Amino acid sequence: MIAPKYDRQPARRRTIGEESKRQVNAQRAGVLERDRYMCVAASLGGCMGDLTMQHRAAKQAGGSALYDGAGFLVAMCWGHNVREMQDADLRRKFIANGWSVAKWMVEPNLHTGVPIHDISEIPLLYPDGRWYRNFNQSFGQAFEPDGVGLMVRLGIRSGGVHGQEVVF
């Protein structure tokens, strides 16, 4: 017996990269509105180029689509997005201000499966000089009156006199 011919090709599964790009694009409008259509690192000066979606937790090449929620994304100009990975001092400033998060802090623990921190616990400094916590499941924000203090308690910043930053 001869196998029947099918006109349709079977549906190709999306790669992780394709799925991630689709998820980020779906979040883009909400993230831009939440971040007031400004680069979150604008307070550093030197903004260049269009706004991009920056992952607060680096995904590496290919990465995981798990990091595409609203809390993991911020609006950042192309210039800051590129320079962050080229300049170690700038990278430390990004982490100290919550614009980037060390990946180990939000990845599930190998033994317990529980992340050290939920991304919405880690506040970030906005260009208006105020700290906010961005929620991962929505585009909501919560004002954080003591952002530096919280970053010190989470172990992200070192403490100084009256919570003032010493290292960065």
Structure confidence at residue 38 (pLDDT): 95
Instruction: Convert the pLDDT of each residue in 146-160 to its tens digit.
Output: 888 888 888 888 764
Structure confidence at residue 165 (pLDDT): 42
Could you tell me which residues are beta bridge partners of residue 115?
Answer: 108
Q: Which run of H or E residues covers position 93?
A: helix 88-96
In three-state secondary structure terms, 55 is strand
| pTM higher than the cut 0.85 | no
Whether the predicted pLDDT of 135 surpasses 70: yes
Instruction: Convert the pLDDT of each residue in 68-108 to its tens digit.
Output: 888 889 999 999 999 988 999 998 999 999 999 877 777 77
Q: Which run of H or E residues covers position 139?
A: none
**Domain assignments of the chain as residue spans, ordered by start:** 16-163
User: Which own/partner contact pairs does 27-30 have at CB distance under 8 Å and 24+ positions apart?
Assistant: 27/53, 27/68, 27/69, 27/70, 27/73, 28/53, 30/70, 30/139
Instruction: Convert the pLDDT of each residue in 17-68 to its tens digit.
Output: 777 788 888 889 999 999 999 999 999 999 999 999 998 887 664 446 677 8
